[in-house]
Amino acid sequence: MIIANHAHVFPREIKESGTIDRLKALMDECSIDKAVCFAPFPDRFVESGFPGDPNGWLASQLKGETDLYGFGVIDFDAPDLSGQVSRIKELGFKGIKMHPPYQEFRIDSPEAFEVYEQAQEEGLFITFHCGMHWHRLRDNLPVLYDEVAWNFPRLRFSLEHIGGYHFFNDALAVMCNNTRGGVQPRVFAGWTSVTDKDGPSEWSLTDEQLKTVIFQTGEDRSIFGLDFPYNSAEDIKADIARIQNMDISDTAKSNILCNTLKNILEI
Ligand SMILES: [Zn+2]
């Protein structure tokens, strides 16, 4: 059984390669049973003139879907951030996707803290992009996620890409630094787009680094992610095979590919 995090989905009018039907076809092809889908970031609706809001759109699309789970997004240009978090919960979503460099907010800003506070109250999981993404680095240095973990000890979140090629050690430090106190496990590693098969890209991690995550943080803090539609079915099959062939325990493998996210989503 494979349960995967991190699929970006879109209305056909905005991104034809990223529709929910395309995701379901890819899941079939890769033998993935269930997946978490993210609502599009609000600017994608604004720039394309697509009506409605991304969270409402995703909730309507997921009605009747038994194998897809939604994560909402925050609109930092709109008022009432904590109200937005509560609405995400009301829509039946299990978490929030946040992307500090793309959404251009500081990880430790008062606005972001308002979101974390309410997410902690509502029991929502946060999936963060963690690593460089062409925005000024000082606003989203991965070490700042330590502030999130310290200030919100009941909030669980994942660091997608585990800092990527440039910030892997920083992201791992945040994970290791928060293995005591609060809710445990609390900080998770998102094994998303970490392939190194075509050489070291911005998000590549080596097998040695991935094994170090397991060795230093344990077998229950790593979650496989798709980065659909930016990775093809071929890419994702290779990612799954890489985990299955890695020199780690069978328990670690089934946790990464299924059980850890299953527990978080309570499914
Ligand atoms: Zn993403």
In the chain, where are the structural domains located?
77-265
Please state whether the peptide bond connecting residue 54 to the residue before it is cis, i.e. omega within 30 degrees of 0.
Answer: no
User: What's the pLDDT at 185?
Assistant: 97
Arithmetic mean of pLDDT over the chain: 97
Measure the CA dihedral 65/260/186/9, to 10°: -30
Q: How far does the centroid of ligand 1 lie from the alpha carbon of residue 166, in Å?
A: 17
CA of 6 to the centre of ligand 1 (A): 6
How close is the Cα of 113 to the center of ligand 1, in Å? 21
- Residue 63 CA to ligand 1 centre (angstroms): 23
Q: How far is the CA of 100 from the centre of ligand 1 (A)?
A: 11
| Cβ atoms of residues 199 and 208 within 8 Å | no
The average pLDDT across 117-122 equals 98
* Dist. CA 149–CA 247, nearest whole Å: 30
Question: What is the mean predicted confidence (pLDDT) over 149-160?
Answer: 98
Cβ pair 155, 120 in contact under 8 A: yes
Interval 69-118: pLDDT, tens: 999 999 999 999 999 999 999 999 999 999 999 999 999 999 999 999 99
Question: 129 C-alpha to center of ligand 1: Å?
Answer: 6
Protein fold of 77-265: TIM Barrel (3.20.20)
Provide the Cα torsion 8, 13, 14, 19; round to 10°: 10
Mean pLDDT computed over 221-232 = 98
Span from the CA of 199 to the centroid of ligand 1 (angstroms): 21
